[in-house]
Amino acid sequence: MKLRPDQLVLASRSPRRRLLLREVGIDARVIDPNLDDGLIPTPTSIAPDEWVAALAYLKARAGADQLPPNSLVLGADTVVVKAGQIIGQPRDEQHARDIIHALRNTDHEVVTGVAILNADRRFIFSDTAHVIVGDITNESIESYLATGAWRGKAGAYNLAERQEAGWPIEVTGDPTTVMGLPMNRLREIFEFKPIEPI
């Protein structure tokens, strides 16, 4: 039996995750889990999919602690994995520059963990997509960095925004996993209502 997401609460500060839910007809209530995972040291002894699943659970649990016991809460976390190393959000502009230059003309994985909690069920999973980044000019990178749009983005970029800007980025797997919420997997869990035509 699938969950009905009518009363879903999204424990995330990410506007992109809220937008992905809206695109399938879910206008989720949003709360701040008040959990800064940037302050949690990334362990070297844990697999990336286990790490993001653990962070997603911590966010969902922190959100659920602010709500009535029967609430349906979703937490998520996304990282980039390059050569076995986990890359999260950039600390500052120079760090974002270093990350983008490291990703240019090569490939990487993006792993998103999701945790969904309510009073009697718990779903925790991760999903991985493979990303190939082509050649991006230095001028394009600097122009992007000046916008500040890299802030709060795993790997310092948002897939949809960068593709719209003309960056050569190809994805094998679910593109929404790269954007922070694997909607193909969520369709297996939730009973989505069809979106009414305009």
Calpha distance 174→183 (Å, rounded): 8
Q: Which two tokens stand for residue 140?
A: 């394009």
**Out of 37, 49, 65, 77, which one is annotated catalytic?**
77
Q: Which two tokens stand for residue 94?
A: 């120079």
Q: Which amino acid would we find at residue 196?
A: E
Annotated active-site residue 77? The verdict is yes
Q: Give the three-state DSSP class for 38.
A: helix
Q: What is the 3-state secondary structure (H, E, C) of 175-197?
A: HHHHCCCCHHHHHHHECCCCCCC
Phi/psi at 182 (nearest 5 deg)? -70, 90
Q: Which residues are identified as catalytic?
A: 77
